[in-house]
Chain A
Amino acid sequence: MGVANLLENWSKFRHTHPVDDHGHEDWMAYPTDIKWAMAIDLDACIGCNACSVACYAENNLPVVGKDKYSHGAAMHWMRIERYWDENEGEGDFSAEQGARFLPMLCQQCDAAPCETVCPVGATNHTEDGLNSQIYNRCIGSRYCLVNCPYKVRYFNWYDYPSTKDVWPSPMEQQLNPDLSVRGKGVMEKCTFCKQRTYTARNDAKTQGREVRDSDVMTACQESCPTGAITFGNLFNAESQVAMKWKAQQVKLDTDKQAKDENPDNGLRGYHVLEWLRPYPSVMYMERVRETEI
């Protein structure tokens, strides 16, 4: 019963996970100690958009067309942002050192601003450290989008499945049956390819072992021509992503990384907007540029 449950577990429910870097030991909802995380090397990213298109293919994202795109209805869960070096003065850009590309996807924050504000609890924290979005539960108040500092949540402003030229026959045959096609009035966002991670997790579980890097790749990671994206289980010390985070001394639950503490330590790992303390699960590694040239 609720109250008994409440009293007996009071302290446990004030759990620190997932803000903490480790799974909560007495958290029964954790079959395996999984915390999905990502590392994106901005020096390797060439901004080619392959990840974005792969995301369209994997996650049944609708193509909204020019008019709706112009009204900010684009549904790209994974978008490539292009920034310029700025000289003094507004909008005075310099292309001398090329452009800076930033692949922006849901950061799967561990203290997600979007989660707390949803009136119906349609977006929650999963036991594997993701920021879930329950389409069936969503009533479309869009508070999560308003409160998302990265603006990586996308709302179905129209009923795309029934909209002309979004999936004209036979294009609907390409839709991925592993996940739903969202109707109007629902918020959606990057899920770290939940359909893939869940399969991997269950396989590992049935084989009674930890999830390995070889088990799962997100669609964006799989396609990335330069391998700029690393994805895996942060709790598994052997995983590439864990090693990268460790090498960059990046912590999940800090608003200031080691490289900010001491600029000379040669590190380049950081979280975007980390000073807002959403504790993102995506680590970016700074773009590097030659000084001799």
Chain B
Amino acid sequence: MTKDIREDIAWAKINQDVLKSLETPRPAYWVILAVALSVFGVGLGCEIYQYQMGMGVSNLDNPHAWALYIGSFIFWIGMSHSGTLLSAILHIMHADWRKPIYRFAEAMTTFSLITAALFVAVHLGRVWQIYYALPYPNERWAWPNWQSPLLWDAMAVFTYLSSSMIFLYVGMIPDLAICRDNMHSGWRKKLYTLMALGWEGTDRQWRNFRMTYLTVACFLIPLAVSVHSIVSTDFAVSQQPGMHVTSFPPYFVAGALYSGCAAIISLFIILRYVFRFEEYMTLPILRKVVRLTFAIAMVWTYLNCVEFAATWYGHDPAEKAVLVQKAIGPYAPFFWTMIFCGSVVPFAMMVKKWQTSIPIMFAVSLLLNLGMFLERWMIISPTLSHDYWPWQWDHNQWPSMIQWGIVFGSFGFFVTLFMVFCKVFPSVSMYEVKEMVYHRSLHSKKAESAAPEGFVAEELAVKGAN
């Protein structure tokens, strides 16, 4: 038999295992979903109240015109980036270990972008007029102001969101075909049939599919980079000390990938458990993601140092004042927590034993994301509390429970969407896992002995573990 590959997973079994995830997850799934929904409910309540009363109830004020809303906006956009990293960049690099996990990473991209877009609305003082920001032709010849970084944001986020949605969908078509073939009746059958577009896996379809997937991937990489550098211009283009920083675009992109990878680790662990994906989301893959995350963490740390050093030696008193403010002012606790979570905690990922330890990595990934959330906040509030105009300095501002509520709600919103997606669509790419095992079997057939020893050892160890 030619299917006797070392990874002795029969293709049919792959189908069964993954399709199972659409049927009966562990009870934990329902718990998570319930919690997420209730958290989202809280956020929704807060938002409705704020809508009624005005932005004041969020404790924003003059000069603290921005705070957690913009911070969360950036945070969620940032989280989206690693999906692209895994699906696009690693795809082009032919890193085949990405295949079992890129699907949910991409879903994460899409949903975190949607969550981010939500904050644009939450943040506006007159959200009911939000359509003024759309370039629709009108009698007054009034168009949005294309010079505003906020509009660049909107454009970039829209492009990114739609593109990655398309990318997610296109990459999912063959799997949708599989679902279609294995579902027997009901609305899902209809849904899959519709979405599979009559995919048959003919050579013609596969040919064009490969080219399309590659092209879109190539577009997504510069797009992802542009998106977060554009988001960084919200601050870099402004005039305020502590925001007007040249190194922001790369800094933001690094931060984005960072928080994204951290999020992937968390979700990886959750999905692995609730959908019993132990055999696909294997620990060696986790290890690879962890190593990647660590590398990015170091890049981020480096860029942080660059920013601080530039400020310090730049001798712009106002900039310096803001930096000092961050370090010893009222925001110091958060600033140092951010440094700790962002630059110290990652070293836990250097310990080989811990790299594959589910609980430790889960904790670490959550800490990393906490750090990244604080980072976004620390870009906004310290500056606004201590900008150019001493008369308006305000060190007593603190987000109200309403503001916090909406921020927490956004997490509920994201998790809800994500969990529903994973239940309705295959969160592991079946056809690509098949490719993976197929190519590995070919590879190991060609050079029985040439298989990397370490890899074998790991794989065995994993088998033992499972």
Verify whether A and B have any Cβ pair under 8 Å: yes
Q: Which residues of A line the B interface, CB within 8 A?
A: 68, 71-74, 79, 81, 83, 104, 113, 116-122, 137-143, 145-147, 149-151, 153-159, 184-187, 273, 276
The binding surface of chain B is classed by DSSP as loop
Q: How many angstroms between the C-alpha atoms of A79 and B392 in the bound complex?
A: 11
* Chain B interface residue number, banded: 35 or more
B150 and A141 within 8 A (CB): yes
On chain B, the residues within 8 Å of A151 by CB distance are 62-63, 387, 389, 391-392
Cβ proximity bits B299-322 to A, threshold 8 Å, 1 near / 0 not: 000000000000000000000000
How many Å lie between the Cα of A81 and that of B392 in the bound state? 10
- Would you call A143 and B150 a contact (CB within 8 A)? yes
On whether A186 and B125 interact (CB within 8 A), knowing A73-B62, A139-B130, the answer reads yes
Contacts of B347 in A (CB 8 A): none
CB-nearest residue of chain A to B141:
A2
Minimum CB–CB distance from B249 to chain A (whole Å) comes to 17
Q: Give the Cβ gap from B68 to chain A, nearest Cβ, in Å.
A: 14
Which of B53, B56, B237, B391 has its CB near the most chain A CB atoms (within 10 A)?
A: B56
A-B contact pairs, 9 of them (CB 8 A): A81-B391, A117-B238, A119-B144, A139-B125, A146-B66, A151-B391, A184-B126, A185-B125, A185-B126
B28 within 8 A of A: no
Nearest 9 A/B pairs, CB to CB: A140-B125, A185-B125, A157-B56, A72-B61, A121-B145, A185-B126, A184-B54, A142-B65, A119-B150
In the bound complex, residues from chain B placing their C-beta under 8 Å from that of A79 are 391
Instruction: Give the complex CA separation of A150 and B388 in angstroms.
Output: 7
Min CB distance A36 to B, Å, is: 23
Select from chain B the residue with minimum beta-carbon distance to A137. B132
Q: Does B149 interact with chain A (Cβ within 8 Å)?
A: yes
Given A72-B397, A119-B150, A120-B144, A147 and B125 contact (CB-CB distance below 8 Å): no
Chain A residues whose C-beta falls within 8 Å of the C-beta of B142 in the assembled complex = 121, 137
Mark out the residues of chain B between 115 and 155 whose CB falls within 8 Å of any chain A CB in the assembled complex.
123-127, 129-130, 132-133, 142-145, 147-151, 154
Does B60 touch A at the CB level, under 8 Å? yes
Q: How far is the CA of A142 from the CA of B142 in the complex (A)?
A: 20
Is B432 part of the binding interface, using a Cβ–Cβ cutoff of 8 Å?
no
Give the residue name and chain of the A residue nearest to B153 (CB).
Answer: A119
Is B388 touching A155 in the complex (CB atoms < 8 A)?
A: no
A155:B63 contact, CB within 8 angstroms:
no
Query: Which residue of chain B has its CB nearest to the CB of A102?
Result: B391
Q: Check B145–A104 contact: CB distance below 8 A.
A: no
- The distance in angstroms between the C-alpha atoms of A146 and B71, with both chains bound, is 14
Complexed CA–CA distance, A206 and B133 (Å): 37
What's the Cα separation between A149 and B388 when bound, in Å?
Answer: 6
Q: Note all chain B residues with C-beta closer than 8 A to A149.
A: 239-240, 387-389
| Chain A minimum-CB-distance residue to B397 | A72
Whether B133 pairs with A273 at a CB distance below 8 angstroms is: no
Q: List the A side residues contacting B387 at CB < 8 Å.
A: 149, 151
Provide the residues of chain A in CB contact with B239, threshold 8 Å.
113, 147, 149, 276
With contact pairs A157-B55, A276-B388 given, residues A117 and B124 touching in the complex (Cβ less than 8 Å): no
Q: Given that A119-B154, A140-B124, A146-B384 are known contacts, is A155 also in contact with B148, CB under 8 Å in the complex?
A: no
Chain B residue with Cβ nearest A151? B392
Closest chain B CB from A79 CB (angstroms): 8
- Residue among B65, B66, B150, B240 with max Cβ neighbours from chain A (10 Å): B65
Known: A145-B63, A149-B387, A154-B62. A118 touches B238 (CB 8 A): no
Q: Can you name 20 extra interface pairs (CB under 8 A) apart from A72-B61, A72-B64, A138-B126?
A: A71-B56, A71-B59, A71-B61, A72-B63, A116-B145, A117-B149, A118-B145, A120-B132, A121-B143, A138-B129, A139-B129, A139-B130, A139-B133, A140-B124, A142-B60, A142-B65, A142-B66, A147-B239, A149-B240, A157-B54
- Other-chain contact of B133, A72, A104, A113, A120 (Cβ < 8 Å): A120
Given known contacts A71-B61, A142-B65, A149-B388, A158 and B126 CB-to-CB distance under 8 angstroms: no
A121 and B140 alpha carbons, distance in the complex (Å): 13
The reply to whether A184 and B63 form a contact with Cβ atoms under 8 Å apart is no
In the bound assembly, the distance between CA atoms of A245 and B125 in angstroms comes to 39
Residue of A nearest to B132 (CB): A120
* Residue numbers in B under 8 Å from A184 (CB-CB): 54-55, 125-126
Q: State in angstroms the CA–CA spacing of A142 and B240 once bound together.
A: 14
How far, in whole Å, are A117 and B244 apart by their CA atoms in the complex? Answer: 14
Q: How far is the CB of A75 from chain B (nearest CB, A)?
A: 9
Kindly state whether residue B394 has any CB partner on chain A within 8 Å: yes
Which residue of chain B has the shortest Cβ distance to A81 in the bound complex? B391
Which residue of chain A lies nearest to B390 when distances are taken between CB atoms in the complex?
A83
Inter-subunit contact B65/A146 (CB<8 Å): yes
Known contacts A117-B150, A158-B56; A273 and B388 CB within 8 A of each other: yes
Report yes or no: A155 in contact with B62, Cβ–Cβ below 8 A: yes
In the assembled complex, which residues on chain B have CB atoms less than 8 Å from the CB atom of A117?
147-150, 237-238
Q: Report A-chain residues with C-beta under 8 Å of the C-beta of B62.
A: 72-74, 145, 151, 153-155
B151 contacts which chain A residues (CB < 8 A)? 119
Q: How far is the CB of B301 from chain A (nearest CB, A)?
A: 27
Alpha-carbon distance between A138 and B142 when the two chains are bound, in angstroms: 12
Provide the bound-state CA to CA distance between A146 and B124, in Å: 14
Nearest CB in chain B to that of A154: its residue: B62
User: In the complex, what's the smallest C-beta–C-beta distance from A199 to chain B, in angstroms?
Assistant: 24
Which of the listed residues B63, B125, B142, B240 has the most CB atoms from chain A within 10 Å of its own CB? B125
A141 to B133, CA, bound (A): 10
Q: How far is the CA of A119 from the CA of B147 in the complex (A)?
A: 8
Interface residues of B in 85-128 (CB under 8 A from A): 123-127
Which of A68, A113, A150, A157 interacts with B60 by CB under 8 Å? A157
CA distance A74 to B394 in the complex (A): 13
* A119 in contact with B66 (CB, 8 Å): no
The answer to whether B389 and A147 touch across the interface, beta carbons within 8 angstroms, is no
